Chain A
Amino acid sequence: MKILKKLLSSDYGMLGVLGVLCVFFSLITFENQQPVGRDAADRLLVQIQNQFETPGVAVLAGKGSDDGRDFVSQLEEQLMQEGWKVEAKIAGSPIDLGKALRQAGENKLRVILLACEQSFADLPLVENLKTTSPGLSQMKVLSPDSYGWPNFLKTSNLLNIANQIAVIAIIAIGMTLVIITAGIDLSVGSLIAFSAVICCWLIREWMGGPEATILGMVVASLLAITACGGLGLFSGSMIAYFGVPSFVASLGMMMVASGLAYMISGGLSIYQIPSSFDWLGRGDSFLGIPNAVVLMVLLYVAAHFLMSRTTAGRYVYAVGGNAEAARLSGVPVKKVILWVYACSGMLAGLGGVVMASQFRSGDPKYGLMYELYVIAAVVVGGTSLSGGRGKVFGTLIGAFIIAVIQNGMNLTGVQSYTQKVVLGLVLLAAVLLDMLKKRGWKLSS
């Protein structure tokens, strides 16, 4: 119990919770996995090396998908190096395989290996040909063995989780800053829609629509982010200079931004943009990691340095901890507040661009309720709503906790309605934990 308390009390205590969740979902999604693609080829090669001492003639078969083609070409390359003769390679249907095998039989070749993906291995067609065609009678059928692995822990699933949460996590950086200054920004959800619509509208109207250049798309994205920064600056000035409570100022901005998005788009989705626009949202240019995830990680590292090493970061904590004491120490309190909301607006704008890129369109309905998920991520990550305390990486962990719970429930087939209930309870538990932490683990103060 003591260790648990100590763990949860530390700055990144929620990391432990995230770990427990990952282990839990790994255990309940443990299943037999069929390897595919290059991975399957590599595994099968080892099996072939074990079964055959000398190379011979082989037929390779994979499905007509990308994975199937990868499997076949990878395996062919490796077998040729070992001295095999590849008689035929098929990336297609069982019928194609049948044809190729019959052809080989007619050519009187002694095929000793059929290396194929799992789905071809048990075909009755292959059995028949083995008995009818003499050249094929000695043929061994090999397919990559299946292995046990949790669905949750598959690389593709993990990348999927990261990609799913990227938008929320990026915006949550700004929200963390805002909440550390003891404020709140409800407008980020609407700013996503605003930014996505502005960006796509600019590309359609000014950058040449589907023929837009890369430069055009970059400029449109930057303009959209700047516009969101401007709206953030506006709410910030209402809060800093006119003393409007942040809840109200950002609630107003939430409606304004949403309304503007509908006005500009006419309520319709804007999709007349180049297909290459999805580079940011769907591409993976670096080690197979989605670009949005790379962007997210870079932003978190930058934000961590900002908050822990720079003057600006120190000022943000000081303003949230005690604005009057900060002011009397010469901290430009109003500027800090202004800047924090501008930051939040710009990051929401960036989130909107990423989302537009993921869906390859801009729609005023994007980002609905996102502000709540973003706030949830920040709070679960241990940032105190009363200001002055919180860590940027805590927020990243919070975002991942939410994403992992959602993903895990999807994998195990939990209904989306139930998922909402669970997420709500998680949020409450996180706030309760924060309270307990502050009070030194006593139930009442």
Chain B
Amino acid sequence: MKRLLTLRSIDKHFPGVHALKSVDFELSQGECLALLGENGAGKSTLIKILGGAHSPDSGRIELDGKEVVFQHPTDSLDAGIAVIYQEFNLVPGLSAGENMFLGIEPNDYGWVRREDEMRKAIEILKRIGSIIDPNTRCDELTVAEKQMVEIAKALVRKARILIMDEPSAALTNKEVERLYELVDELKSQGLGIVYVSHRLEEVERLADRAVVLRDGERVGELLRDEMKRNRIIELMVGRPMDSEFPTEAREVGDLRLRARNLSRGSKVKNISLDVRAGEILALTGLVGAGRTETVRLLFGADHRDGGMIELDGKELTIRNPHDAINAGICLLTEDRKEQGLVLGLSVKENFGLPNLGKFSRNGMIDQNEELNRFIHYVESISIKISDPHQLAGKLSGGNQQKVVLAKWLEKNAEILIFDEPTRGIDVGAKFEIYQWMNQLAKQGKGIIMINSELPEVLGMSDRILVLKEGELMGEVANGPGVTQEKLMAMAIGIAEERESKNENS
């Protein structure tokens, strides 16, 4: 296999952080290399350096044995390196084909040769096995389709190295399977692929080799036959992991939250659920099953068409999040950057936001009290911050999650809803968050957890509700007999058969 890319002792500092410490890295033609590490390990910095978004402080990048310098994203793109970030770079109002050729349209003196463009677009989409019509506007595409367009866009630019940042994070299981096939296909076409992921099972499925980073250092390399879950986790966190989930006995007590016939349009159809004191209830299902929509109704984030919510036997009037929060229902949103935190405010101010009533007299905030309470949580749930006045946007995912948790703990939440609490969070922080969920349950609070990762669902919950297309497909008490396969079968349900029939006809 021909060596495509070599990085030699790449070093990068940011203010206060040594993000990469003399990292070596190499990639060959037709290879899929998994880049692993906890959040903050330096993965994003490394791919941004490859993508030309950052320049390294020192070190060499060699492409085909020749040294290259990337000053700007277009430099690395011209050199044949395409990065597909989690946030796609597509213009929503333009069609798929137009996006693929954006900036390099085939043209005669400014007149775009549309037929030419479309023909090439179809050709390339076919090459990656996609059936997207290049005339479709990008805002009408699903996440998976947008990803396809991004990959096609990279191929239009004759990329030889494709760097994918958590590409499966927002895909459904079926789409993920297609993505795997595509990665295999691209490999066989001779591209080198760098695959960044938190999901260890897909690393086992896809990667020829894995490089593990920890605290900016390359701590190990695993070849295909050495890639065992425990070994990977060990390398990532730097200590052997006995178990991925904390096991602690909890007592399930009285009924706390009782919701009946929650509904909202076609997204949520007559869903009823109960949560008891000390219980962790998992909501699972495929992406788009209506799990987030359901808990948003409990939290008052959306208007519900019908249904009622009771806490400790008292019916609640929940018209907006404010009502829910005051009643003791709190939501830790899946998307912390868009919905959980005000990134331009300091972590302390974010912490204070729902709690200002407690910290203020006649509208004047007692800043000392606020700070003291925040410091209390910084210590008790070990939030890693440089300073309470640090902007929330500067924290890693796990620490952002902890700030959100701290703000609800201070609010004395009785029912805590965790929406994909571990998405985008590294293994070490995951474990801490599980511990916290256990701890809270033990205090008699009710926990609802939305989770797509079935091993997590099985590892953490007492009871599991499976949703599909806004409907409750079934309820399972967690126990030895419950398997991932069983849950998946429920999540896919009868509709899967219908879909496959459609495809056959």
Contact = CB atoms under 8 A, between A and B. Distances in A.
B344 interface: yes
A330 interface: yes
B357 to A, nearest CB: 8
Interface stretch (B34-42, B58-66, B202-210, B332-340): B332-340
Contacts of A332: 322
A317 B345 contact: yes
Given A325-B338, A329-B353, A331-B353, A309 B343 contact: no
A321 B342 contact: yes
Contact of A325 (B320, B342, B360, B363): B342
Contact of A388 (B326, B333, B344): B344
B338 A322 contact: yes
B343 A321 contact: yes
B342 A327 contact: no
Given A314-B353, A329-B321, A322 B344 contact: yes
A240 to B, nearest CB: 13
B374 interface: no
Most A CB atoms within 10 A — which of B320, B367, B407? B320
Given A309-B367, A310-B360, A310-B364, A330 B341 contact: no
A128 interface: no
Given A322-B338, A322-B341, A329-B321, A310 B363 contact: yes
A324 B339 contact: yes
A330 B353 contact: yes
Interface string A308-343: 011110110110111011111111100000000000
B301 interface: yes
Interface string A387-414: 0110000000000000000000000000
A331 B354 CA distance: 7
A169 to B, nearest CB: 24
Nearest to B333: A328
Nearest to B357: A311
A321 B393 CA distance: 11
B407 A311 contact: no
A312 B356 CA distance: 10
Contacts of B407: 329
Contacts of B341: 322, 325
Contact of A311 (B325, B338, B342, B356): B356
Given A330-B321, A330-B326, A321 B344 contact: yes
B296 to A, nearest CB: 9
A295 to B, nearest CB: 22
A379 to B, nearest CB: 17
Nearest to A311: B356
A322 B367 contact: no
A388 B391 CA distance: 12
A443 to B, nearest CB: 12
B195 interface: no
Contacts of B340: 325, 328
B112 interface: no
B345 A321 contact: yes
A387 to B, nearest CB: 8
A310 B325 CA distance: 20
A314 B352 CA distance: 9
A330 B344 contact: no
A23 B79 CA distance: 52
B326 A326 contact: no
Interface string B301-333: 100000000000000000011100110000101
A328 B342 contact: no
Contacts of B299: 328
Contact of B342 (A309, A312, A326): A326
A321 B338 CA distance: 10
A321 B364 CA distance: 21
B365 interface: yes
B301 A328 contact: yes
A388 B341 CA distance: 13
A325 B364 CA distance: 22
B367 A317 contact: no
B367 A328 contact: no
B349 interface: yes
B322 A330 contact: yes
Nearest to A440: B15
Contact of B344 (A314, A315, A389): A389
Interface in B11-52: none
Interface string B265-309: 000000000000000000000000000000000010100000000
Nearest to A388: B344
B339 A325 contact: yes
Contacts of A326: 342, 353
Interface in B73-128: none
Contacts of B363: 310-312
A331 B356 CA distance: 10
Contacts of A324: 338-339
Contact of B365 (A314, A322, A327, A389): A314
A310 B342 contact: no
Given A317-B345, A321-B343, A309 B338 contact: no
Contacts of A317: 342, 344-345, 349
Contact of A322 (B325, B331, B342, B354): B342
B365 A309 contact: yes
Contacts of A321: 342-345
A285 B301 CA distance: 53
Contacts of A331: 322, 353-354
Contacts of B301: 327-328
Contacts of B349: 314, 317-318
A330 B338 CA distance: 15
A332 B357 CA distance: 13
Contacts of B331: 328
Contacts of B326: 330
Contacts of B321: 327-330
B353 A318 contact: yes
Nearest to B324: A330
A318 B342 contact: yes
A318 B345 contact: yes
A76 to B, nearest CB: 54
Contact of B360 (A311, A328, A330, A388): A311
A328 B365 contact: no
B409 to A, nearest CB: 14
Nearest to B322: A330
A322 B343 contact: yes
Given A321-B342, A321-B343, A330-B322, 6 more contacts: A309-B365, A309-B367, A314-B352, A317-B344, A322-B343, A388-B342
15 contacts: A310-B363, A310-B364, A311-B364, A314-B356, A317-B342, A317-B344, A317-B349, A322-B343, A325-B341, A327-B301, A328-B301, A328-B331, A328-B339, A329-B325, A330-B322
User: Top 5 closest A-B pairs, CB basis?
Assistant: A321-B344, A321-B342, A388-B344, A330-B325, A329-B353
